[in-house]
């Protein structure tokens, strides 16, 4: 029972409490860049979720199977960067060959994720928090879904903002950043739950 | 130290080999013709063809799911280029088109209330069918101007003004306008009916001073059988010779003549410029 609530808590904390975008401020580049339309925000969010889960799993395996036995844990950042970049490339090639529909909907966003700090950040955080394999899986899944949730909400707000009479100095990016700040305040309100 | 170097060397070589093998083994053969077709399209990604961007349209044309003249922007030149690549005969012989506004309302049309909501014609349409007394006219909120992927529409004195040099007749504004007053017409057409009001004469005139009142004077004045008044005066662009007889007789000036992309009998008149016109859009003076 304790285990169950712990794992459920991991998904929930990834989803809202320790949200990658609004509580940990990771991956803000696509958050601002790919959030002008809801359709592209959904594509980006799904691609990030997918890559996040796969990358975290493989980083986890590499860390505990190679780095820990050889006592080179301190090199995890640079090795994770290499691994994630190669994995994203590999995923792109594989989806192009075998999952054409998936490639057509996510393909545009995959190269953007190669250098997304949310993916690297979650892979490193999993190690820092000392989660086991299932924990890693669930926390990455929760974080990815959290990214999806927030970027879709944000893009919906930005679509509405387009219609409003905004003072000239605030038009475009400034009002988007102000909006993001307010959303962040709202999400930090989840802070004390778990 | 040596251990670290060896491990990272192995890691790098392994990942490199993996990617190299994957790119060879999983290589997807694509027909070079597909790239040629996509390159022949304008590359504006305006979405007017109904596909997500030029690459999607090019793929559909290549697979035979779409006709080779699917691109309304590129028109005949693009269709010919694609027909050369694919070896399919081009059977279209269409004149270049341009978007025009079937309304001259603005200040001429009476308002029934002051609209202060968000700047969207769609939202205005939802608030009591718009702020104009005329149910068919332009709201002047510029949804067409925002929708235009080529920055060819500018709002001037409450009406959209189409810059014919920039307009590619993609038809995005036609779909965007909730009042259906944008129309694609042949580029050489000069005489236009600038009204969309299908109400009877008196009702139309009571809402707008430049409305078509269905008096049929234009129909009688036309020597070429090119203009007919049903619910509204409609010009048959195939028959019209741009003689302007109807323009002279129209009592409410609902029929107007464009020359060199300007109204001749004018309610508004603006110099048009080629180029990006960003400076004039942003200039406050």
pLDDT of residue A9: 87
* Contact across the interface for B118 and A163, Cβ inside 8 Å: yes
CA distance B22 to chain A (A): 7
pLDDT-derived band of residue B140, with 50, 70 and 90 as boundaries? confident
Q: What is the pLDDT of residue B273?
A: 47
Look at B4 and A83 and tell me if their CB atoms are within 8 Å: no
Measured distance CA(A41)–CA(B137) in Å, rounded = 35
Is B132's pLDDT higher than 90? no
Question: Tens-of-pLDDT digits for all 194 residues of chain A?
Answer: 578 888 888 888 889 888 888 988 888 888 888 888 888 888 888 888 988 999 999 999 999 998 888 888 888 898 899 899 988 888 888 888 887 777 776 666 777 787 788 899 999 999 999 899 999 999 999 999 999 999 999 999 998 888 787 888 988 889 999 999 999 999 888 887 77
Q: Do A93 and B23 touch (CB under 8 A)?
A: yes
- Candidates B119, B123, B146; nearest CB to A165: B119
A115 near B CB under 8 A: no
Q: Chain A within 8 Å of B22 (Cβ-Cβ)?
A: yes
CB of A88 within 8 Å of a chain B CB? The answer is no
Of A72, A86, A162, the CB nearest to B7: A72
Give the tokens for residue A83: 């691994």
Residue in B26, B126, B127 to test binding to A, most A beta-carbons within 10 Å: B26
Is residue B120 pLDDT above 80, yes or no? yes
Question: Which residues are within 8 A (CB) of B126 and not within 5 positions of it... i.e. 6 or more apart?
Answer: none
Length of chain A: 194
Helices (H), chain B: 2-25, 32-40, 53-62, 75-86, 121-126, 143-147, 172-176, 201-207, 217-221, 245-249, 278-282
pLDDT, tens digit, 9 for 90 and up, residues B152-168? 888 887 888 888 777 88
- The residue among B132, B125, B177 whose CA lies nearest residue B155 is B177
b/e sequence B117-140, b meaning 16+ C-beta within 10 Å: eebbbebbbeeeebbbbbebbbbb
Q: What is the pLDDT of residue B266?
A: 38
* pLDDT at residue B169 tops 60: yes
Q: Looking at the predicted structure, is the pLDDT value of residue B271 above 60? A: no
Map out the domains of chain B as residue ranges: 1-28, 32-86, 97-282
Say what the pLDDT of residue B168 is.
80
Q: Are strands B191-193 and B255-259 parallel, antiparallel or unpaired?
A: antiparallel
Which chain A positions have a beta carbon within 8 Å of B59's beta carbon?
none
Residue B265 is predicted with a pLDDT of: 39
In this predicted structure, the answer to whether residue B277 has a pLDDT above a threshold of 70 is no
**Tokens 């205005």, residue?**
B124
In CATH terms, the fold of domain B97-282 is Alpha-Beta Plaits (3.30.70)
- Determine the pLDDT at residue A138: 93
Looking at per-residue pLDDT, the higher value among B190 and B15 belongs to: B15
Task: Return the residue in A85, A157, A163, A164 with the most chain B beta carbons within 10 A, the one to mutate for interface testing.
Answer: A163
Q: Please give the structure tokens belonging to residue A96.
A: 């192009």
**Are the CB atoms for B205 and B252 separated by under 8 Å?**
yes
Domain B32-86 grouped into CATH 1.10.150.110? no
Q: Read off the tokens for B240.
A: 């019209």
CA distance A58 to chain B (A): 13
Pair B252, B265: CB distance under 8 Å: no
Q: Mean pLDDT, to the nearest integer, of B134-139?
A: 87
| Out of A108-112, A148-152, B117-121, B139-143, least confident range | A108-112
In chain B, the residue whose alpha carbon lies closest to the alpha carbon of A105 is: B52
Q: Which residues, listed in sequence order, are joined to residue B233 by a DSSP beta bridge?
A: B229
Mutation target among A43, A93, A107 for the B interface, most CBs of B within 10 A: A93
Tell me, yes or no, if B266 comes closer than 8 A to chain A by beta carbon: no
Distance between CA atoms of residues B266 and B30, nearest Å? 55
Is the overall model pTM greater than 0.90, yes or no?
no
Q: What is residue B13's predicted lDDT score, i.e. its pLDDT?
A: 93
What mean pLDDT is reported for chain A?
A: 87
Does any CB of chain B come closer than 8 Å to the CB of residue A105? no
The residue written with tokens 């997304």 in the block is A116
Question: Largest alpha-carbon pair distance within chain A?
Answer: 60
Q: How far apart are CA B101 and CA B114, in angstroms?
A: 23
Report yes or no: B26 at the A interface, CB cutoff 8 Å: yes
Please check whether residue B282 touches A, CB under 8 A. no
Distance from CA of B26 to the nearest CA of A (A): 6
* Nearest residue on chain A to B18, alpha-carbon basis: A90
Nearest to A163 among B4, B11, B120 (CB): B120
Nearest alpha-carbon partner for A7 in A165, A176, A134: A134
How is residue A142 written in tokens? 């929760």
pLDDT of B94 reads 59
């Amino acid at each position: 029972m304790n285990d169950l609530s712990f794992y459920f808590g991991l998904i929930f904390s990834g989803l809202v409490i320790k949200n990658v975008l609004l509580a940990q401020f990771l991956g803000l580049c696509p958050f601002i860049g790919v959030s002008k339309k809801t359709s592209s925000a959904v594509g980006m969010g799904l691609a990030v979720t997918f890559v996040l889960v796969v990358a975290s799993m493989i980083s986890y395996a590499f860390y505990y199977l190679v780095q820990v036995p050889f006592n080179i844990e301190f090199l995890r950042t640079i090795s994770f960067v290499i691994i994630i970049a190669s994995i994203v490339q590999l995923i792109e090639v594989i989806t192009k060959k075998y999952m054409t529909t998936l490639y057509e909907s996510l393909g545009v966003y995959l190269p953007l994720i190669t250098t997304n700090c949310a993916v690297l950040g979650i892979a490193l955080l999993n190690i820092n928090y000392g989660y086991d394999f299932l924990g890693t899986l669930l926390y990455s899944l929760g974080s990815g879904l959290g990214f999806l949730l927030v970027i879709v909400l944000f893009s919906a707000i930005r679509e509405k903002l387009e219609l409003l009479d905004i003072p000239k100095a605030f038009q475009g990016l400034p009002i988007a950043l102000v909006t993001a700040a307010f959303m962040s305040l709202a999400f930090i309100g989840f802070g004390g739950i778990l | 130290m040596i251990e670290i170097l060896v491990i990272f060397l192995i890691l790098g070589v392994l990942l490199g080999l993996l990617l190299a093998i994957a790119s060879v083994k999983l290589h997807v053969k694509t027909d070079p013709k597909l790239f040629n077709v996509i390159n022949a399209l304008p590359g504006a990604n305006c979405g007017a063809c109904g596909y997500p961007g030029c690459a999607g349209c090019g793929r559909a044309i290549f697979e035979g799911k779409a006709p080779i003249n699917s691109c309304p922007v590129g028109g005949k030149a693009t269709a010919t280029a694609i027909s050369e690549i694919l070896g399919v005969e081009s059977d279209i012989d269409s004149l270049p088109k341009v978007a025009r506004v079937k309304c001259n309302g603005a200040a001429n049309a009476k308002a029934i209330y002051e609209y202060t909501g968000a700047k969207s014609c769609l939202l205005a349409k939802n608030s009591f069918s718009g702020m104009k007394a005329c149910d068919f006219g332009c709201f002047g909120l510029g949804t067409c101007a925002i929708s235009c992927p080529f920055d060819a529409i500018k709002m001037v004195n409450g009406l959209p003004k189409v810059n014919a040099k920039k307009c590619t007749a993609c038809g995005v504004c036609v779909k965007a306008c909730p009042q259906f007053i944008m129309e694609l017409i042949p580029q050489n057409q000069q005489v236009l009916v600038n009204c969309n009001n299908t109400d009877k004469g008196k009702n139309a005139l009571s809402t707008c001073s430049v409305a078509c009142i269905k008096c049929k004077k234009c129909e009688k004045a036309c020597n070429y059988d090119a203009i007919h008044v049903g619910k509204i005066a409609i010009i048959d662009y195939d028959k019209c010779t741009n003689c302007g007889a109807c323009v002279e007789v129209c009592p409410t000036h609902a029929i107007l003549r464009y020359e060199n992309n300007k109204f001749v009998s004018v309610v508004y008149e603006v110099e048009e410029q080629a180029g990006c016109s960003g400076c004039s859009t942003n200039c406050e003076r």
